[in-house]
Chain A
Amino acid sequence: MKTIVKGLIIIIILLAIALPFASNNPDGLEATMEKVGLEEHPVYEAPLDYGETWGQSIVMGMIGIILVFGVSYGLAKLIKGA
């Protein structure tokens, strides 16, 4: 348990340090889509986003980090148990 908490805190600290340097430019696929005129047509509205400010992004990041940890941990347990 101690290792898990320590690991999660290290990940969140690294994210907090790296976030101000993150680029908001379109990624390789988005840039390609723009150039060839491809548009997305969402069929599903996700409830969360990554936030606009550093503070919002950290909070959303923490939510995501904990959820991803929980889902992968749960999946691994399920596989072991099944």
Chain B
Amino acid sequence: MHIPDGLLSMPVIVVTYAIMIAVVAYSAKKLKNLPENKIPLLGLFAAGIFAAQMVNFPIIGGVSGHLLGATLVAILLGPYAAVLIMTAVLIIQTLLFGDGGITALGANILNMGILGAFLGYTVYTKLKGINEIVAIGVASWLSVFLAAVLAAIEIGISKSLPFGKVLTLMASYHAIIGIGEAILTIIIVQAVRAKLPEIGGVPA
């Protein structure tokens, strides 16, 4: 779901970059108390998300999707660490691998990182009292679905095009891709917790 160059108008580029920079700076401030021994873990999660995003899984109709992972990381390490990790991943993807446009980096970090980190974390926290698996599944599915809706809105504001069609296509594809996200997030969160029971959180 990496938005390329040429899809966003100047106002949308400016606004999304401004929000992204503000939230990344705020998250960085919140991470000042990050325990020193958690830093390698942060790096490993970032590396893992990068690798996971290389592997697209097929959905219906000759379309594919890949893990976003922001909600996954937020559940395990907290939303601020998730913002930092997703920012690092997206910067490398954009600058070195041409995944997503440089003008869309603000929007892509906002959609695929910040939204999933905070919204996914909030939904998970609210639902985990009911059922852990349901909480992880719903939070991660929503993070993909709403990221797609947000991307559609950003593109819709930027371009004169049939907005309803863009929104419907983005929402339908990602409603299905979100199921993949939910399954992968449930499996990975449970596996990491089983292997690293002491993982705890990062100041959230």
Q: Interface on A for B, CB 8 Å cutoff?
A: 3-4, 7-8, 11-12, 14-15, 18-19, 21-29, 31-33, 35-50, 57, 60-61, 64-73, 75-77, 79-80, 82
Contacts and interface: CB of A to CB of B under 8 A. Distances in A.
B173 A31 contact: yes
B90 to A, nearest CB: 10
A43 B4 CA distance: 9
Nearest to B165: A36
B200 interface: no
Contact of B162 (A36, A48, A61, A77): A36
B63 A26 contact: yes
A57 B62 contact: no
B171 to A, nearest CB: 9
30 contacts: A11-B51, A14-B51, A15-B54, A19-B54, A22-B54, A22-B55, A22-B56, A27-B1, A28-B1, A28-B64, A28-B65, A29-B1, A32-B173, A36-B162, A40-B4, A42-B98, A43-B5, A43-B102, A46-B94, A50-B97, A57-B54, A68-B50, A69-B44, A72-B42, A72-B84, A72-B85, A75-B87, A76-B31, A76-B84, A82-B32
A24 B58 CA distance: 8
Interface of B: 1-7, 28, 31-32, 34, 36, 39-40, 42-51, 54-59, 61-66, 84-85, 87-89, 91-99, 101-103, 148, 151-152, 155, 159, 161-162, 165-166, 169-170, 173-174, 177
Nearest to B144: A28
Contacts, number: 196
Contacts of A37: 161
Contact of B102 (A26, A28, A44, A64): A44
Given A27-B63, A27-B65, A40-B4, A64 B56 contact: no
A29 B51 contact: no
Nearest to A47: B96
A4 B39 CA distance: 10
Given A29-B1, A46-B98, A72-B84, 9 more contacts: A12-B51, A15-B55, A28-B148, A28-B174, A36-B166, A69-B47, A73-B40, A76-B84, A80-B36
